[in-house]
C-alpha cells in the first residue's frame, strides 16, 4: 500500500491556512500529489473565474513548496515530482466534496476541524466536516485548529503515531495504513499501540481483560517490528477517551490513527463515542480515520 494522491479541502477561512501549510509539508515528505478543492455556494457563481484563478495560484505555490521540502527530506521520493492542481465547484459543500472524492482517484481527504467544538454531531447544524467523515469511503486526515508547530514542520524528536485498538478485526484495519505512512516518511517512526476498550471502564473489567489484551497488542506490535518499524504497547487505565487524550498530551504525538467500522462514520465507529471525544478534545494533534471492516 502506498498513498499517492490527496484532496485538500479549502474553504477560504483562516483555519484553511493551517491545513495548507500542513498539506504542503506532508506532500513533500510523503511524495503526495495534491488536489485543492473549494466548493462555492450557488449564489457565488459569478465569482467562479476569480476563485479558480486563486485556487490555481495556490496550487502552484503549494507545489513549489512541497517540491522544495521533498528535495531536502530524508528518504525523499526522488524519482517523481509532486503535482498539484486547484478545482472549484458549486453546490452543497458536503455533497460536492463527496461527489468529487467518488469520481476522482484519491487516496486521502484532508480537512480541518474547528475550534474546541470539533465535528458537530447533528447533520442539521450544517457541519460539512461531519457529513464528509460520516460518508467518505477513503481515509480522512483531520487537522485541528490549534495544530502544534512541531507537527507541521516535522520537528518532534520521533515520529510517534498512536493507534488505539479494541481487540477487534475492525479496529485493526488502520494498521496497514499506519505502516504505509511510516514507510513513506522514512526512518525514526514509532508506532504506539494503546488499549482503548470501552468494556474496561470499570476496574474489575480492566483487570480481567488486561492480560489477553496485552498479549493481543504484543502480537500486532511484533508484526510491525517485522515490517521494519519500532513499535511498543501501552495499556491505559481509566475511561478510554480520557486515558487516550491524557496519553497524547503527555507523549508528543505526530498522528493519532484509528479505524471506523464499514462506511457508516460515527454511527458505526469501532469506539463510538470514544472516537468523537478524541476528535473534539485533541486540539493540537492530527487524526487519521480509516474505514474498517464490519
Same domain membership, residue 69 and residue 20: yes
Q: What is the DSSP letter of 125?
A: G
Q: What percent of the chain has pLDDT over 70?
A: 81
Helix, strand, coil percentages in the chain from 3-state DSSP, rounded to 5: 50, 20, 30
Q: Based on C-alpha coordinates, what's the Rg of the chain?
A: 19
Q: Which of 143, 166, 183 is the last residue of a domain?
A: 143
Domain carrying residue 75: 5-143
Work out the average pLDDT over 125-133: 68
Q: Which of 143, 171, 205 is the last residue of a domain?
A: 143
Q: Per the confidence metrics, is the pTM higher than 0.95?
A: no
Top mean-pLDDT range of 138-142, 154-158, 259-263:
138-142
Q: List the CATH number of the domain containing 175.
A: 3.40.50.620
Work out the average pLDDT over 240-247: 87
Same domain membership, residue 139 and residue 173: no
Letter string b/e over residues 155-178, b meaning 16 or more CB atoms within 10 A of that residue's CB: eeeebbbbbbbbbbebbbbbbebb
From CA 58, how far away is CA 36, in angstroms rounded? Answer: 8
Same domain membership, residue 162 and residue 217: yes
Give pLDDT tens digits for 248-287: 989 989 999 988 764 444 444 455 567 777 877 777 899 9
Give pLDDT tens digits for 61-109: 888 888 888 877 655 454 456 788 889 999 988 899 999 998 988 899 9
Same domain membership, residue 82 and residue 198: no
Q: Which of 116, 143, 170 is the last residue of a domain?
A: 143
Give pLDDT tens digits for 27-36: 888 889 999 9
Same domain membership, residue 119 and residue 234: no
What pLDDT is recorded for position 64?
A: 87
DSSP string, 224-272: HHHTT-EEEEE---SSHHHHHHHHHHHS--SEEEEEEETT-GGGGBSST
Same domain membership, residue 261 and residue 187: yes
Work out the average pLDDT over 172-199: 84
Number of domain units in the chain: 2
Same domain membership, residue 161 and residue 108: no
Same domain membership, residue 182 and residue 79: no
Same domain membership, residue 191 and residue 101: no
The SS3 assignment for 47 reads helix
Query: Mean pLDDT in the chain?
Result: 80
Same domain membership, residue 287 and residue 231: yes
Same domain membership, residue 109 and residue 83: yes
- Choice between 16 and 223, residue whose per-residue pLDDT is larger: 223
What pLDDT is recorded for position 176?
A: 94
Same domain membership, residue 184 and residue 82: no
* pLDDT tier at 199, thresholds 50, 70, 90: low
What pLDDT is recorded for position 263?
A: 43
Amino acid at each position: 500500500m502506498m498513498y499517492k494522491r490527496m484532496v485538500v479541502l479549502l474553504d477560504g477561512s483562516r483555519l484553511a491556512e493551517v491545513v495548507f501549510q500542513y498539506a504542503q509539508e506532508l506532500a513533500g515528505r510523503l511524495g503526495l500529489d495534491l488536489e485543492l478543492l473549494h466548493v462555492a455556494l450557488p449564489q457565488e457563481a459569478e465569482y467562479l473565474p476569480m476563485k479558480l484563478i486563486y485556487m490555481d495560484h495556490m496550487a502552484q505555490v503549494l507545489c513549489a513548496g512541497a517540491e522544495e521540502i521533498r528535495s531536502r527530506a530524508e528518504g525523499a521520493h526522488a524519482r517523481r515530482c509532486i503535482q498539484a492542481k486547484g478545482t472549484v465547484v458549486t453546490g452543497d459543500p458536503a455533497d460536492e466534496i463527496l461527489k468529487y472524492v467518488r469520481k476522482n482517484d484519491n487516496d486521502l481527504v484532508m480537512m480541518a476541524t474547528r475550534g474546541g467544538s470539533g465535528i458537530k454531531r447533528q447533520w442539521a447544524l450544517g457541519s460539512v466536516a461531519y457529513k464528509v467523515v460520516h460518508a467518505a469511503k477513503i481515509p480522512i486526515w483531520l487537522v485541528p485548529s490549534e495544530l502544534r508547530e512541531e507537527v507541521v514542520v516535522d520537528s518532534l524528536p520521533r515520529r510517534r503515531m498512536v493507534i488505539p485498538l479494541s481487540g477487534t478485526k475492525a479496529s485493526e484495519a488502520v494498521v496497514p495504513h499506519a505502516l504505509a505512512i511510516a514507510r513513506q516518511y522514512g526512518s525514526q517512526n514509532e508506532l504506539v499501540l494503546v488499549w482503548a476498550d470501552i468494556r474496561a471502564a470499570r476496574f474489575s473489567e480492566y483487570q480481567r481483560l488486561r492480560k489477553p489484551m496485552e498479549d493481543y497488542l504484543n502480537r500486532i506490535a511484533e508484526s510491525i517490528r517485522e515490517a521494519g518499524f519500532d513499535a511498543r504497547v501501552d495499556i491505559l487505565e481509566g475511561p478510554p477517551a480520557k486515558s487516550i487524550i491524557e496519553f497524547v498530551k503527555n507523549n508528543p504525538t505526530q498522528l493519532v490513527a484509528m479505524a471506523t467500522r464499514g462506511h457508516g462514520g460515527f454511527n458505526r465507529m469501532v469506539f463510538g463515542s470514544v472516537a468523537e471525544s478524541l476528535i473534539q478534545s485533541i486540539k493540537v494533534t492530527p487524526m487519521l480515520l480509516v474505514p474498517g471492516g464490519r
